[in-house]
Amino acid sequence: MERRSKCVKMLAMATRPQRSERRTDALSRERIVEAAIEILDADGEAALTFRALRTRLATGSGAIYWHVANKDELLAATTDDVIARVVTDVSAGAEPREAIRAIASGVFDAIDAHPWVGGQLSREPWQFAVLQVFEALGQQLGALGVPERARFDCASALLNYVLGLAGQYAAGARLIARETDRSAFLASVAERWATLDPAEHPFLHQVTPQLLDHDDRQQFLAGIDLILAGIDAIR
Amino acid sequence: MERRSKCVKMLAMATRPQRSERRTDALSRERIVEAAIEILDADGEAALTFRALRTRLATGSGAIYWHVANKDELLAATTDDVIARVVTDVSAGAEPREAIRAIASGVFDAIDAHPWVGGQLSREPWQFAVLQVFEALGQQLGALGVPERARFDCASALLNYVLGLAGQYAAGARLIARETDRSAFLASVAERWATLDPAEHPFLHQVTPQLLDHDDRQQFLAGIDLILAGIDAIR
DNA sequence: ACCTGAACACCGTTCAAGT
DNA sequence: ACCTGAACACCGTTCAAGT
C-alpha cells in the first residue's frame, strides 16, 4: 500500500526538476486513514491529533479537513478499515457455530492487534463496522436455526458481549502501556483486590488466582460458548 | 444532601456580618462530586469541564485540584457514587437468579437515568464501581451453585455483557441528545439500514421492524436470561 | 491547610488566501 | 478543486501568591 510514498516523492523532487505530472501520492481520504492507523498503532489513541497527522502527511490541517469531516469521522473510518477485513475473512462454508466463534475471534484478534479499535467500537455502536459484525452474527444465527423472532435478541446479546470486552480490553491496553507489561498489570490489580475486606468481597478474593493466570482470548471464547449454550437452550 | 447550600451561604453573608465560624459548606471532595454529577445529568459528558465546575462552585480551578487529583479521578468518583447505591440496594434475601436480574436491572436503570455512567463504566473497567458489580454477580453465581472453577468465566461473561450495553446505551443517549427523540433516532437508524444492499445485509433488513419497536430494557434482560440459560446448561 | 486566578501547553476546527 | 497555515475558541493542569 505504498507506505513510503512520501519519501519516494521527496527523493524524486530532490533529484529531478519538478514536472507537471499528477503526483500519484496526492493527499486522499485513503492516505489520511492509513496514516491515522499508523499513529494509533504506534502511539495509541491520545497520540492521534490533527497536528501529528499534518506533520506525518506534511500538509496543513485544512487539507485534512478537505477530505475528512472531523475527528469522529476519521476514527470511524479507521475502525471500519480494520473491522471490514475481519468480517470478510470469515470463510462462508463453515458450520454456523464455528462461524460465530470465528467472527468473535476475528474481532478479538483485531482489538488485540489494535487496542484503540476496542475503544472506538464501544463508543460508537451504530457505526458501519459494528453493523457488519451484527449482520454477520445474525446471518449465522439464521443458519443455526434460531427462530426469526429470537434472532434480534440473540444477535444483540452476542454483539453487546463482544463490544463489552472490546471496551474493557482497550482500557486495559491503555493502562498496560503505562505499566511494564501485562503480568505486572494483573499483579497490581490483584494487589488492589487484596486490600479489600474479604468479608465484603469474598468472590474477588476467591478468584484472584484465576485472574493472575487466565488467558484473555480463552475467557472471551468461553463467554461466547456460554451464550451459544443459552441460545441452544431456548431453541 | 444540601443541594442549595451555596444559596444559603450567600444569603447568610448578605444579611449578617461575616463571622469566623467554620463554613459548613466549605469546598470538599463530596461537594465537587455532587456538582459534577449535576452538570453531567443536566448537560452531558461534554459539559463537564473544570471551568464549568469552578463557576458552579464559585471557586478557582486550583481549589478543585486540591481535593481531586484530575479529571479521570473525578469521573471515576461520580460513577462510583451512582453505582454504589445500585449494588447495595439489591435485597440480600432474593433467589440468586432473581438477584442477578436485579443487579443487572439496577445497572441498566442507573445508566438510563445517567447515560454518562455508561460511557464511564465501559471506559474504565477496573474502577471500583465495576468491581462492586463483579463481586455482586460472582456471589450470586456461588449461591446459584455454579462450580468454583466456572464462576470467574461466568461472572466475566455477565459483566462484559452489561458493560457492552452500558457503552452502547451511553453512545445512543449522546446521539439522541442531538436528535429530537428516541423514536426519531431509531427511525433514522432504520433509514440508514434501508439504504444497504439487501443481498449483502439480509439480517439487518429482516430485523428492522423489531429495531423500531423494541424495548431496550426488555432486550437487555433477554440477554441476561440467555446467559443464565447457558450457565444452567454447563452446570 | 486551603484557596485564587493568571498562565502554560495543548486541543479540534475554521477560513481567508493561495495555486 | 485542492491546499496552506495563521487564528479562534476552547481544553486540563500547574503554580506562585495569597489567607
The answer to whether residues B132 and B84 touch, using CB atoms and an 8 Å cutoff, is yes
Interior/surface letters B82-99, b for 16+ CB within 10 angstroms, e for the rest: bbeebbeebeeeeebbeb
Rg of chain A on CA atoms, in Å: 22
Cell numbers representing residue A180 in the block: 511494564
Average pLDDT, chain B: 87
Identify which of A128, A207, A225, A219 has the alpha carbon closest to the alpha carbon of residue A172: A219
The pLDDT assigned to A8 comes to 28
Contact A203 B230 (CB under 8 A): no
The pLDDT assigned to A234 comes to 84
Mean of pLDDT values over B158-180: 88
Mean of pLDDT values over B46-72: 97
The pLDDT assigned to B218 comes to 96
Mean of pLDDT values over B35-41: 97
pLDDT in tens, A88-126: 777 667 899 999 999 999 999 999 999 999 999 998 878
Identify which of B44, B9, B54 has the alpha carbon closest to the alpha carbon of residue B115: B44
Residues of B in contact with A222 (CB under 8 A): 153, 156-157
The pLDDT assigned to A96 comes to 94
pLDDT in tens, A121-148: 998 878 999 999 999 999 999 999 999 9
- Give the nucleotide at minimum CA-to-C1' distance from B66: C2
- Return the residue of B nearest to A139 by Cα: B203
Residues of A in contact with B223 (CB under 8 A): 153, 156-157, 160-161
Contact A125 B167 (CB under 8 A): yes
Local confidence band at B205 (pLDDT 50, 70, 90 cut-offs) = very high
- Give the nucleotide at minimum CA-to-C1' distance from B48: D11
Interior/surface letters A91-112, b for 16+ CB within 10 angstroms, e for the rest: eeeeebbebbbbbbbbbbebbb
A60 touches B: beta carbon within 8 Å: no
CA distances in angstroms from B218 to A65, A131, B154, B228, listed in the order given: 42, 21, 21, 15
The pLDDT assigned to A16 comes to 28
DSSP B13-72: HHHS---SSPPTT---HHHHHHHHHHHHHHH-GGG--HHHHHHHTTS-HHHHHHH-S-HH
Higher-scoring residue by pLDDT: B149, B1:
B149
Interior/surface letters A177-199, b for 16+ CB within 10 angstroms, e for the rest: eeeeeeeebbeebbeebeeeeee
The shortest C-alpha distance from B145 to chain A (Å) reads 14
The pLDDT assigned to B91 comes to 61
Residue of A152, A189, A197, A210 best to disrupt the B interface, most CBs of B under 10 A: A152
Q: Say if residue B198's pLDDT is above 80.
A: yes
Task: List, for chain A, all residue ranges whose pLDDT scores fall below the cut of 50.
Answer: 1-24
Cell numbers representing residue A94 in the block: 463453515
C-alpha to C-alpha distance for A224 and A219, rounded to whole angstroms: 9
Cell numbers representing residue B203 in the block: 439480517
From B35-39, B179-183, B196-200, the region with the lowest mean pLDDT: B179-183
Cα–Cα–Cα angle for B39, B44, B46, rounded to 5 degrees: 100
The pLDDT assigned to B93 comes to 72
The reply to whether A49 Cβ lies less than 7 angstroms from strand D is no
User: B70-232, superfamily in CATH?
Assistant: Tetracycline Repressor, domain 2 (1.10.357.10)
pLDDT in tens, B60-107: 999 999 999 999 999 999 999 999 988 877 766 789 999 999 999 999
The pLDDT assigned to A114 comes to 96
The pLDDT assigned to B2 comes to 29
Local confidence band at B211 (pLDDT 50, 70, 90 cut-offs) = very high
Q: Say if residue B6's pLDDT is above 60.
A: no
